[in-house]
Amino acid sequence: MHASEDRLRALLLRGLAGDASAERLPDRQRLPILLMKLEGLSVVEAAARTGMSESTVKVGVHRGLKALAAMIRRER
């Protein structure tokens, strides 16, 4: 794992494991991020686990990370 991946994982853990801003993310964004970025599942596995399409999982991760980054920036 690269340093940037470690940093992303740390930010996600901070943001998703108790930060109130992460709880404001809709499930369609929060769940794919948790499954793919923290649990290490593939898009196919996350889609199967959530019942979402693979495309919806990808969009959820992308939009959720953008939203989470914006929330974290505003909190600073």
Domains of the chain by start residue, with CATH: 3-75 (1.10.10.10)
70, two tokens? 């914006």
Range 55-66 average pLDDT: 95
17: pLDDT confidence band, cut at 50, 70 and 90? low
Residue 1 to residue 29: CA distance in whole angstroms: 24
This prediction's pTM: 0.75
What type of residue sits at position 75?
A: E
Residue 30 to residue 49: CA distance in whole angstroms: 13
Name which residue leads in pLDDT, 73 or 16: 73
* Residues found in the chain: 76
Q: What is the pLDDT of residues 18-58, one digit of tens each?
A: 556 667 889 999 999 989 988 899 999 999 999 999 999 99
